[in-house]
Amino acid sequence: MPNAQPKDLAFHVFEKLKHSKIALPVPPLNVMEELFECLFFTSMRTEESDLVMVTVTLIDPNNPDPKPPRNIVAERWSCINFETPIELSIKSLVKLSKASDPSSTSLAVYYDQQGKLFIWGMIDQAIHYQSFLNYESESGSEQPGLFQVSINDIGTLNVLFDYELLATLKQNVLIPRYLDVFTIGPISKILKGNAAQLKSELRTFLKTTHTGETFEDWESFLNGIWIQTLSRLLLRIQNYHHGGAILIADNHDDIDIKYTVQYDRLKHAISNYAKETINNYVAETLIEDYISEGKKVIDKNWYVEESKSLLAKQEIADEIKGCISFLASHTCVDGVLLFSRDMVSKGFGGVLKARRMPKKIFVSPTATASPKSLIPADPNHFGTRHRSIIAYCYNHPGSLGLVISQDGDIRAFYRIEEKLIMWENIKTQQFLKSNKLKRRT
């Protein structure tokens, strides 16, 4: 929705929540309009020369935890009350933002009977929520309150309910959903095909080490690791706010690489992580099955193997995190970060020399790029970084280009037959559909 305002975001979220299955009261529309407007204008302020980044959670101070779980884990969130509630205003949000890093904290906000919003405390342990969204942990904790609103950039608000993104207001554009191009459609097919060597290694590994396991049971897991790794790399590049470009290409024609490398550590780490995950699963299953049979004595070697594989898996997860950070930093140099299909970095600072541009490109509003949905666009309306990727991917079919703008937008480019397709508003975080929201039929 172009030319959108905070009130449009409020109405969209209000309608979603009004038709949901939640037990908590939905705030009046005027309260939500005031909340989103205050956050929107706060995003345009600075504090000590830094942009304001903050997350607020709409949560009732009189009943912050209406249905706590039976077993409360140590890292679960908690509310820390202010002695005196603070009126919600641009000024108060700007000041508190320095003490509430959204990667670890959110501000607890609610409204009184007159509809006036106030900040009544802070919520801790948000780091685990963010880690799950960014694919850095395998499980996510439950979320407090009704919903969260985050300032991600100037004029940019994200509204999340549980782990579902309800909508994003990006300056004057309302984005009700992001395209899951890494899971379905042509790009997903390309990436899964690029994991062929990893899959071949795992087939051999299963045949020689775990004959009771079949590759088909693990194939979707492998595809997930591959796609999550690329998503994490894109998220890391976004965090630099510098912009960048990634090219995954069969050959390196028409590319002048300033800093040529052969970095294959990420590829091997992904393979090792998959193997240790399988080792750990098999060891855990063996122990669980033995216990379920009523056996009281278990071979200690089984426990050793289970513990060893779990530790190795955690260590390799840290290795992958380090590889991603290493590669993402290369995009801070002007030019393309070049990968072969199997996620081996060939270098960075690449200049793409292809010049022949298509007369028009086609924007796909769907992940599947169905022909009837394509919208023609003029490639000359884009900046230099986009145009160089457009020209290269058009002249070299089979190449996949990903461009990250300074403002965080991610666009993908791929040629299908004679058309250069562009996807935008791409989903990179691990948003999950909430079973509390009703779906259109």
Helix (H/G/I), strand (E/B), else coil: 360 = coil
> Is 221 inside any structural domain?
yes
Q: Residue 290 domain-assigned?
A: no
Based on the fold, state whether residues 329 and 369 are members of the same structural domain: yes
Cβ pair 379, 361 in contact under 8 A: yes
Both tokens of 260, joined, read 């040529």
What is the pLDDT, as a whole number, of residue 192? 93
For residue 373, what is the domain's CATH number? 3.40.1700.10
**Orientation of helix 265-292 relative to helix 300-329, angle to 10°:** 150
Question: Where is the domain boundary, 175, 208, 232?
Answer: 175
Domain count, the chain: 2
Question: Does residue 202 share a domain with residue 141?
Answer: no
Is 162 in the same domain as 194?
Answer: no
Under DSSP, the state recorded for 379 is G
406 versus 246: the higher-pLDDT residue is 246
65 lies in some domain? yes
- The 3-state DSSP class for residue 257 equals strand
pLDDT at 143: 84
The predicted structure's pLDDT at residue 268: 96
**Of 1, 387, 391, 380, the residue nearest 177 (C-alpha):** 1
- Predicted confidence band of residue 72 (pLDDT cuts 50, 70, 90): confident
d(CA 218, CA 271): 13
The pLDDT of residue 214 is 93
Residue 258 lies in a domain: yes
Residue 112 structural domain: 6-175
Q: Give the mean pLDDT of 186-199.
A: 93
* Domain membership flag for residue 219: yes
Q: Which of 170, 123, 151 lies closest to 38 in space, CA to CA?
A: 151
133-142, 256-265, 328-337: which has the minimum mean pLDDT? 133-142
Q: Given 147, 175, 203, which residue is the final one in a domain? A: 175
- 313 within a domain of the structure (yes/no): no
Same domain for 402 and 357: yes
At 229, is the pLDDT very low, low, confident or very high (cuts 50, 70, 90)?
Answer: very high
Return the top range by mean pLDDT from 20-24, 261-265, 429-433: 261-265
Regarding whether 81 and 214 lie in a shared domain, the answer is no
User: CA 294 to CA 290: how far, in whole Å?
Assistant: 7
Q: Examine the domain organization and report whether 241 and 349 are in the same domain.
A: yes
List pLDDT tens digits, range 272-309.
999 999 999 998 888 887 777 777 677 777 778 889 99
| List of E strands, 26-163 | 46-47, 50-51, 55-58, 79-87, 106-111, 117-123, 147-153, 156-161
Confidence of residue 441 (pLDDT cuts 50, 70, 90): very low
Nearest to 339 by CA among 263, 411, 265, 234: 263
Q: Are residues 28 and 144 in the same domain?
A: yes
Q: By C-alpha distance, which of 301, 270, 282 is closest to 206?
A: 282
pLDDT at 260: 95
Tokens (6 digits) for 229? 């790794």
Would you say residue 168 has pLDDT above 90?
Answer: yes
Span 164-186, mean pLDDT?
Answer: 91
Percent of the chain with pLDDT over 70: 97
Rounded average pLDDT over 318-344: 95
Residue at 433 is within a domain = no
Q: Does residue 235 lie in a domain region?
A: yes
* Residue-averaged pLDDT of the chain: 91
Ordered DSSP codes for 332-347: GSSSEEEE-TTS-EEE
Percent of the chain with pLDDT over 90: 70
Whether the pLDDT of residue 390 is over 90: the answer is yes
What pLDDT is attached to residue 246?
96
Q: Among 151, 175, 199, where does a domain finish?
A: 175
Q: Which of 281-285, 297-301, 317-321, 396-400 has the lowest mean pLDDT?
A: 297-301
Pair 306, 287: CB distance under 8 Å: yes
In a shared domain, residues 244 and 378:
yes
Indicate whether 70 pLDDT > 90: no
Shared domain for 360 and 237, answered yes or no, is: yes
In terms of domains, do 55 and 99 share one? yes
Rounded average pLDDT over 217-242: 92
Task: Please tell me the predicted confidence (pLDDT) of residue 239.
Answer: 86
200 and 138, same domain (yes or no): no
Q: Does 371 share its domain with 412?
A: yes
What's the number of CA atoms in the CB half-sphere (13 Å) around residue 250?
Answer: 9
In angstroms, the CA 127 to CA 228 distance is 19
pLDDT classification of 435: cutoffs 50, 70, 90: low
For residue 440, pLDDT over 60 is answered with: no
Averaged pLDDT, 347-364:
94
- 299-310: burial string, b at 16+ Cβ within 10 Å, e else: eeeeeebbeebb
Q: What average pLDDT does range 233-260 have in this prediction?
A: 91
